[in-house]
C-alpha cells in the first residue's frame, strides 16, 4: 500500500535556512528560476508549512537566529574547504 504523503524531516537549523531561502525565491520571478509551473505548488506548500512550524521567523532577533543557523550548517563544508586549501599550498 502506498503512503499518501511524503514526510521530510529537517533539523530546526535546516528548516530555518530553507524557509528563508524559499521566501527569497518566492519574492523573485519564480518563472525565471523554475521553468515548470507544476513545481510552484509544492514549493509554496513547503514554504507555508515551514512558516507555520517556525514561530521564530517573526521575532525581533530573526536575523541573528538565521545567521547562527547558517554558521552551524557550514562547519563541515568549511572544514573540507580549509583542508583542501592547506593541501594545495
pLDDT at 72: 94
Q: Domain for residue 3, yes or no?
A: no
pLDDT band at 78 (very low <50, low <70, confident <90, very high): very low
* Residue 16 near residue 65 (C-beta atoms within 8 A): yes
Q: Which domain holds residue 71?
A: 12-81
pLDDT band at 9 (very low <50, low <70, confident <90, very high): very high
Q: Domain for residue 23, yes or no?
A: yes
Place of cell 599550498: 89
pTM of this structure: 0.73
Q: Domain for residue 71, yes or no?
A: yes
d(CA 29, CA 7): 28
DSSP codes of every residue in 14-60: HHHHHHHHHHHHHHS-HHHH-S-GGGHHHHHHHHHHHHHH-GGGGST
Q: What is the mean pLDDT of the chain?
A: 82
Give 44-74 pLDDT, tens digit per residue.
Answer: 899 999 999 998 888 999 999 999 999 999 8
Backbone angles phi, psi at 62, to 5 degrees: -55, -45
What number is the average pLDDT over the span 17-34? Answer: 85
Split into its structural domains, the chain has a count of 1
Amino acid at each position: 500500500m502506498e503512503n499518501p504523503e511524503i514526510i521530510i524531516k529537517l533539523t530546526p537549523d535546516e528548516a530555518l535556512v530553507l524557509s528563508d531561502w524559499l521566501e527569497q525565491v518566492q519574492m523573485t520571478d519564480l518563472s525565471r528560476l523554475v521553468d515548470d509551473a507544476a513545481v510552484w505548488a509544492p514549493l509554496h506548500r513547503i514554504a507555508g508549512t515551514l512558516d507555520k512550524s517556525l514561530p521564530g521567523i517573526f521575532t525581533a532577533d530573526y536575523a541573528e537566529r538565521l545567521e547562527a543557523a547558517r554558521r552551524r550548517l557550514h562547519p563541515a563544508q568549511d572544514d573540507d574547504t580549509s583542508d583542501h586549501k592547506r593541501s594545495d599550498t
